[in-house]
Structure 1
Amino acid sequence: MKLVFPGGEHPQVVLQPGVNSVGSAPDANIVIDRPGVQPRHCHLHVTPTGVMLDVPAEANVSVNGKVVNGLIALRDGDRVAFDRWEARLANMENVALGAGAVRSPAVPANDDLFATTVRPALPRFMLRGVSGKLFGRGFALAGPTTVGRAPECAVRLDETGISRLHARMLPSDEGVQIEDLGSTNGTFVNGRRVLHAEARAGDEIGFDTLRFRLIATVQDAEPAEAAAPDSMRSRLDPRLLWGLVVGMVLLAGAIVLAL
């Protein structure tokens, strides 16, 4: 996928797998040094299932004209505005046309933004930085994820205390399985150094001195057990019901005799 800037604020950008930072900071992956754009304005997560936009609460970002925040799934044709500087998400083959070619007007894929936010491609968990210069930064966990300093890591942490291949994370229905890959300075869950562990939503995960909070990005459905009392009442044992009826008849007879 590419980001195309119709206004010329930035050349076309090929989105790389992993995290692509957008902002006015010189070390951002996509530098937009324009008024209203924060140093770390937002992040674009490119995974095998698609592109996700991660917007901090204080950033001004809109998709197809609607202001958004949090984690939003994007599709081909979406218009993303960083403050007032707009770009369009496009497939590689749709970006450049030959000379003289005619294209019909692009139709945004997300006419209904709310339908987009509940796409099945939305990962179940993400890491949110809670310390240092990564504070507030998010990393989506869309599948098996390697954490480390090496360029090929899906979560690349360019810090001297982080090993090239530091840890591996595997999301499941219940949480995230964490495996330390022989790192020098360790992997931690809630302050305890681990080699293998399972983290749940709300747990703190650390790599060396960097700390992250594990966030659940989707709400679980109401537990099936919540409806159990009603269903149990509707399936009372017939023998118990018969016993109750007989008991009531005997009680009524006793009352009549007493009168």
Structure 2
Amino acid sequence: MGHGVPELVLELNGRTWTLDPSRPYTLGRDPGGDVVLDDARVSWRHATISWGGRSWVIEDHGSTNGTFVQGQRIHQMEIGPGSSVHLGNSTDGPRVNVQGSAQAAAVASPHQAQQQAAGLAQQPPPQQHP
């Protein structure tokens, strides 16, 4: 990862994939793809997620059943942490949740870990009375 470009983390059915901006990633049923979805509603090479220079972009490859973001069928759309993408059906097709990388999250909120550590360190020792 270079130049402050954020990695992207995809989550699907308990599995996660960390995407680096240096190359595109294919989603589909093709076992040679990057994110393989074993679902009949998903096309062989359904979509690609790539870094577009300013943001992450998902692009549908003319899939039979479509790619959906917020219930709308899309051809190409910017996505980022918090996005949810459905493949093959707008409501019950496989849902890919998009998150920022753990490294980016740690950089974004280092004070939270410091506060937790400080909170533990500030506990007074139990006082013993004779």
The TM-score, its normalising length taken from structure 1, stands at 0.34
Question: Which residue identity is paired with 1:216?
Answer: G
Which of 163, 167, 179 is 2:43 aligned to? 163
Aligned to 2:10: 127
Which consecutive residues of structure 1, in runs of 5 or more, have no partner in the other structure? 1-119, 223-259
1:181 lines up with 2:64 in the alignment: no
Matched AA of 2:64: T
Identity %: 33
Q: Distance in 2 between matches of 1:196 and 1:220?
A: 30
Distance 1:221 1:139 in 2: 20
The verdict on how the C-alpha distance between 1:124 and 1:185 changes in structure 2, with shifts beyond 3 A counting, is same
Q: Tell me the equivalent position of 1:148.
A: 28
- Cα distance, 1:216 vs structure 2: 0.4
Q: Structure 1 residues 155 and 127 mapped into 2: Cα distance closer, same or farther (>3 Å)?
A: same
TM-superposition CA deviations, 1:108-158 (whole Å, max 9, x none): xxxxxxxxxxxx48x7101112xxxx2x22122223001111121111111
Q: Work out which of the two has the higher radius of gyration on C-alpha atoms and give 1 or 2.
A: 1
Q: May I ask how many residue pairs the two structures share in their alignment?
A: 98
Q: Which of 201, 225, 236 is the matching residue for 2:81?
A: 201
What RMSD, in angstroms, separates the aligned Cα atoms of the two structures?
2.5
- Match for residue 212 of structure 1 among 82, 96, 103: 96
Normalization by structure 2: what TM-score?
0.65
1:56-92 deviation per Cα after TM superposition (whole angstroms, max 9, x unaligned) = xxxxxxxxxxxxxxxxxxxxxxxxxxxxxxxxxxxxx
Equivalent position amino acid for 2:46 in 1 = H
Give structure 1 regions of 4+ aligned residues with deviation exceeding 2 angstroms: 171-175, 219-222
